[in-house]
Structure 1
Amino acid sequence: SDQHRGWFQSSLLTGCAIDGRAPYKALLTHGFVVDGKGLKMSKSKGNVIAPQKVSDTLGADILRLWTAATDYSGELSISDEILKRVVESYRRMRNTLRFLLANISDFDAEDHANSDLLPPEQWLEIDRYALAMTRQLQAQCAADYGKYEFHRVVQALQSFCSEDLGGFYLDILKDRLYTAAANSPARRSAQSALWHITSAFAKLMAPILSFTAEEVWQTLSGKNESVMLQTWQALPEPADEARLLDKWEKIRLYRAEVTRALEELRVAGQIGSSLQAEVCVQADGEKYDILASLGDDLRFVLICSKTRLVRSAEEKLECRALSYAKCGRCWHVREDVGHHPEHPEICERCVSNLYGEGEARACA
């Protein structure tokens, strides 16, 4: 706060007196850096944390992330414990990016003649929803950068990684990425969305996690071109973006109910994982219509092996363990496991994805 009474105030008065205007177009000030207890750092107290030491031991990006994540309008607290939390936050984001890059390693978006990139109208609906979420994230972060509210950018990126991606979209997507036919429209739809998400995320994090963003961009683009020379990702806009955001926010609420019920079944020792269960949902009105619109994809969204949806005025949710055999490839518990004499350990769906035309997945 003494900066306002000191240099900035004196330069303001001098500039106005001599030039008739402030000597700066914009002014951003911040509080002092203090230790974890809010005390001023002092060598005699032994509470000094040297930036160079943090950079040498944890990496420059950890120091940059701590700086950006801290609300500088007040005092900036730093301690070993605070830095540990920053490291954990960084690790979650980095692991998410590793997953994204790994699952688009066989995806070519640049080859214009034989590009794997599909237009959004050919994507599955959940992939278009992920694109809509990414557009929201980019708009929010760009606005926060414009206001120098870096801690809001960090919060948005962390929330997107842990809740929107890790806690929802990627959790559902794993089955399709790992079990669908390699070049199938269903898998390329997922990869198209992931390519846009990864490109946007790398650019959004670049002003803060500059070294990590460079790593991601070099791997993603395959070109020796800095991410700092890029602009925000040109994300296509789904034609039904508003509807998608509203519909899938409701689906996420319904899914949370099922997840809690499945966890109770797991804690009771009746199932080991959600894929060993069948979920029966009784619903009416909007809830029934929304869940019915997912068709067979409902079981993938709920991450169970079998679902039944019943129209009923009485809302009810039932989960029970299935006694069928477990597919050795997709891990779903299905009654058709072993029906194919040449592939006794996998289900008919996996047989089709490996040796046939592949499963059909609706894009709308």
Structure 2
Amino acid sequence: MTVLTARELNRATLARQMLLERADTTALDAVAHLCGLQAQEPQEPFIGLWSRLRGFAPGELSGLLNDRKVARTHLMRRTVHLVTTDDAVAWRPRHQSMLLQRGATAYRDELDGVDLEALASAGREVLADGQGRSSADLVRAVAERRPDAVGQAGTRALGEMLMGLVPVVQLPPRGLWREKGGVRNVPLAAWAGREVDLAAPEGADGSDPVGRELVRRYLAAYGPASSADLRAWCGLAGLPGAVKAVRGELVSFRDERGRELLDLPDASRPDPATPAPVRFLPAFDNAVLGYQDRGRIIDDDHRWVSVAGERVVLADGRVSATWNVEEETVVVTPLRALDRAEREAVGAEGEETASFLSEGGSRRVRVGAPKG
């Protein structure tokens, strides 16, 4: 079985994630290809798409959200993702058990004695009027309408469980470019204009068509990857059957640690010598968080940045710096020593990033010394 080096895996990831060169495609198609973008920080998906698409304009993504072609919803790993509305409807039933289990585990003691079926029924009744509600407002309305459904549980626990029991999406202006707005939820079914059947995640023959599609879609955007990488990305434990069902369509490799990696046979696996341009990525970017083993793109010493909400800079395809905006300056803090050519490339891409964020304004770039 062919062994793929860390650099080969790095270049494959960059190619699949549209980070070797910016793609000529629409924002909607990019969101679909990437299987969504992590979006608990509402403005970050705009940076993620700008780093990947040629000529990307923020208004395009805002338009998709206003037109309800994309949705902000809890999905993979129980985190907020920006996904196409079609994917939200198709994938939510397959994630339902995971969403409920994680919520019930996190608030086990508080939810003791709460009738979850009654809570879900009351939540659906309250949300049926189509008015967007915050989690706290939803809990208050449910408690007023059905006090028997909430028991002694606190607002946070009930709100978290309602988000799992009743599929919802977050309304604009939250998630629009340069707009601020608190979370207001409406049912996914109302947003999409069609029902979401949570009771039927599998095919009539007992198969798992959604799971098989998740495997294929994940590999198209993240492969080659292991089953552990797939689980880490989606948070689902129950995909071995789907992997087994599509294995005949796939090719197998090994990484340098001996782990089996699966991939689509015709997917891009570039020459490891392919140059990788500097890219400025948003917090919690797919390319970093999409794997259980993140060694293909980030050194072990720097793994902390992947969960700390740091925006990162790729140099030679690897996480090499963090960045943020201080007043009118894009500030880059290297995680390792950058040679002269790398510093120049980081500075140049930083200027482009600053121009995007300020929409042609005069923000500056400052590349500092390495941390430590």
**What range describes the TM-score normalised by the shorter chain of this pair?**
under 0.3
TM-score (norm 1): 0.25
Q: How does the TM-score come out when normalised to structure 2?
A: 0.25
Higher RCO (CA-CA < 8 Å; seq separation 6+): 2
More helix by share: 1
| Larger radius of gyration between Structure 1 and Structure 2 | 1
Identify the structure with the greater strand proportion. 2
